[in-house]
Structure 1
């Protein structure tokens, strides 16, 4: 399914899925205290997965912009593409920090740093990008061993105590925040080299899907097997090992990065296939519109979705059942999908997307 400008709408479809996934996970994380309820445990399996998909898609988008500039065979056009990307990165960095007091788990300011690094690597070979994407999570495991991942955190409230100090801000941004630049930038770099693959080609799409699914399966299975062996250690040792061997996003171990990266790429290939197979389906068009307003929708789920609950009930954090949070996330997502489709019928870009374009050129 493509538009007149040859856009692969499967990417927008996947972005729509990512936004809905992030809404469900984020509402659960903020509104629900830790629980042993089956639904809570089920939703925990998706923690960090939708956000990883969001970042991989950002890398693909950067490649599409860069390749468009290359086709014009003009150094000036390529320079402008890089300049525009850097200005957008700064916009996202500032926007994300601007509402930190409402949403400390914001991904947009991290996103700005990922993009800045990505711009520096847009012209390197695919093989080098793949090696860097591989080495970053491996190197991060060394950092987890050498440094204290829990520094700055109050886990009972999920507050970062020295965020507004130079050392705390740097540590939070690059090492142990919600989406630290290392190793999360590996997702963006993966998206950059995936974006170079012609996913219109069925054979290439199938091979990539198989490789991605195998990566997800192998690292998820390996993580589960290794964690099952930690019972032979003392309780403190087992806890430390389980932290290093898990597929959860905090800390983002190599098992998390490779399993989530594999799942993200697999979902992207499936999304492209679905949009090619059912080009006129109404439900696809609704999710495509949602993905095309991804930046606005991410912002809305915080400043409208979460703030509305606090205004209505006078409370928000860890104050609701997982069933309420999940149901509210579904209702809010449906409304957001409807709004996105209605907006796209009238306007080319979402509200925040249009503001970013106006500010950055």
Structure 2
């Protein structure tokens, strides 16, 4: 399947947003010179998760979900990718930076997405809505009930319920992305729907949450209820999840349009997105090498240097060598495992003519 550059552009923006959230100087007042950077906090990681769902969809057939041997191969590749990401995530976490590494959670998302590889977009959106609505109260209740748990399922509890990116809530992002990835993203009407639905969901989530919180405070609601109404980044409430999904869809729709109209302009972002695993991982290594001070006492110069080095290094590598270093490992291991277990991929059959955008 031909690579969709707009997805890489969106992924590149998400990577830069996460770097900004880690080392950027973010002001407390939105309209201050650095306050607007607060928009990346939480939303970049959520966009990354939505795009993970899109990638899972494309790996398993895109608009035409894989069947037979192709489906088996897709499942094997996702399992292997999950194991590699889990191991890499543990290594990066072991560096001891203040950054909450998302890769172990990514591994959980890949595994939890396996039962949905043949599910239709409309049903996937239904599942995403159910997780967005039910996930927060259920996870919050279980987190309180399991506080202090240190049994054999500690890792699973952290990845699914109590971690920084709990799959019990964040699968709403992944399933939304999986549903979007089942659409023909080359069609103009699909991009227009993303650009329409995104802002609507963002307003519904953020404004709705703000109004609900105000009403709850005025009515003297219980703190347990108020916890479900906030839209603070990484609060993982239904309102925040809906708003973040809206932002992710708008970003994806805009990047698909921009990549088609100005491919040269967005090349550095597309290259960064194509090397997103490497860019994200080496950012963590750089933070570990420079020390916690770059996170705890951020400086504009450091932030700009991180962004510039990421864009330039990714652009140069992608132009000269193609697939990134960690992407090569991930692709090679997962493909070889699929070849060994399920056999080589069958030759593609006749394809439909490309859709007119």
User: Matched residue pairs, number?
Assistant: 332
- Quote the Cα distance in structure 1 between the aligned partners of 2:67 and 2:226: 51
Residue 173 of structure 1 corresponds to: 159
Residue 316 of structure 1 corresponds to: 293
Contact 2:63 2:184 in 1 (8 A): no
- Quote the Cα distance in structure 1 between the aligned partners of 2:198 and 2:104: 28
Residue 155 of structure 1 corresponds to: none
Residue 297 of structure 1 corresponds to: 279
Match of 2:328 among 339, 351, 354: 354
Residue 132 of structure 1 corresponds to: 127
Alignment map for 1:188-337 (pairs within 5 Å): 188-233=174-219, 240-279=224-263, 281=264, 283-304=265-286, 306-310=287-291, 315-316=292-293, 319-320=296-297, 322=298, 324=299, 326-337=300-311
Which structure 2 segments of 5+ residues have no match?
337-357
Residue 91 of structure 1 corresponds to: 84
Deviations 1:307-326 (A, max 9, x none): 2321xxxx538641x5x1x4
- Quote the Cα distance in structure 2 between the aligned partners of 1:286 and 1:42: 22
Q: 1:41 to 1:188 in 2, by over 3 A?
A: same
Alignment map for 1:7-46 (pairs within 5 Å): 7-28=3-24, 38=32, 42-46=36-40
Contact 1:47 1:248 in 2 (8 A): no
Deviation of 1:45 (Å): 3.7
Deviation of 1:216 (Å): 0.8
Q: 1:243 to 1:284 in 2, by over 3 A?
A: same
Which structure 1 segments of 5+ residues have no match?
153-160
Deviations 1:23-53 (A, max 9, x none): 001225xx99x96795675444431101111
- Quote the Cα distance in structure 1 between the aligned partners of 2:136 and 2:156: 18
Residue 53 of structure 1 corresponds to: 47
Contact 1:227 1:241 in 2 (8 A): no
Q: 1:68 to 1:202 in 2, by over 3 A?
A: closer
CA RMSD after TM alignment: 2.8
Residue 343 of structure 2 corresponds to: none
Residue 355 of structure 2 corresponds to: none
